[in-house]
Amino acid sequence: MNNINSNTSKEIFHVAFLLRDLGQGGAERSSLRLANGLANFGMKVTIFILKRKGEMLDSINPDIQVIDIKSSFFRLLSSIRSMDIDFLLPIYTSMRALLAKAILKMPFKVVLSQRNMFTLDRGPIQTRLRFLRCKLLYRYTDACVCISEGVAEEMRTLNLLPVNKIHVIYNPVVNKELLSQIDEPIDDPWFGENSDPVIIGVGRLGDQKDFATLIKAFEIVSKRRRNLKLLLLGEGKQRKMLENMVVDLELSERVRMPGYTANPYPYMKRAALFVLTSRYEGFGNVVPEALACGCNVVSTDCKSGPSEVLEGGKYGALAQVGNPEDIAGAINTMLDNPLPKELLISRAKFFREERAVEDYFSLFKKLRVQIPS
């Protein structure tokens, strides 16, 4: 990979992130990768965090200042007022950031991150209320970074922001930390020498990831492939329902749900196939992560994200959302005709940390020369 510290003459910006916490979500993981990458790039980086908790706290670059505002908006205002920040990047905290700018009237610029489909990740009433809040406060937005072309297309149609404020920058995925984690050992009998093939799914056990459909698809595939197993890594509110489904389908010996793991990559490396059955995604970090591990991928062709990563099926199979039979067919196809690992790893490199950092730096430079909003 390229050394992103090679340019010593670049302008240095003070970039502040506003995060809820550093828990197990993909948004938190990719945001921390970006923050660490910007720090490695030579930027001054601060993280404002509503609650200092989460599995990834130990992964913060030591050059980054972390300020726990203890969920206090007044602490946030005080902290920003005492600093000379150039850019504020809220992650699932947009309203706080925009309200802070409206109150403080300071020249820092707010760069929003649209991480999911605006109209799909909440219920209709919540979406409507959110739309009204956005209409009120989005005037203070200097730029909105969408993490896929699909997300950006929807944002353009909503008319919440001028089109020229909407940008696309893919999430940073492949970095030195991920590459080092891939080869960590795992103590699991399913991944020993000459073990049976394993399909893996990774994500929160909730409605969006639709693991129920994955289990149904696996049940179809398992009738033909008697030695195939399914491992689901994640935790969430649907655990009990999914466990009951496994029992009802008589798959208890072939399906396991051991919970959340901070490092799923050794499992991806050793799996026969990674399957994502999401109803919708903004980007779907786990897809390029699996590719980086050399793992073949089947994904639903949900709105935005995975189809872009897989280039419409060039680097993995796409199947219909919520259709167990179609997903089962795609699984069988990929197990019978896997793509070369070298091809998958090469595609994953497009989503390297350096690329995202450089794209953000270019955006910062453009915003810096604009007339203050």
In the block, tokens 């999914």 appear at: 242
pTM score, whole prediction: 0.91
Neighbours of 111 (CB within 10 A): 22
pLDDT value of residue 9: 56
Quote the distance between the C-alpha of residue 327 and its chain's center: 22
pLDDT value of residue 54: 84
Token representation of residue 369: 């020369």
pLDDT value of residue 337: 97
Query: For every one of its 373 residues, what pLDDT tens digit does the chain have, with 9 covering 90 and above?
Result: 444 554 445 789 999 999 999 886 788 889 999 999 999 999 999 999 999 988 788 889 999 999 999 999 999 999 999 999 999 999 999 999 999 999 999 999 999 999 988 887 777 888 888 888 888 899 999 999 999 999 999 999 999 999 999 999 999 999 999 999 999 999 999 998 889 999 999 999 999 999 999 999 999 999 999 999 999 999 999 999 999 999 999 999 999 999 999 899 999 999 999 999 999 999 999 999 999 999 999 999 998 899 999 999 999 999 999 999 999 999 999 999 999 999 999 999 999 999 999 999 999 999 987 655 4
pLDDT value of residue 120: 78
pLDDT value of residue 193: 83
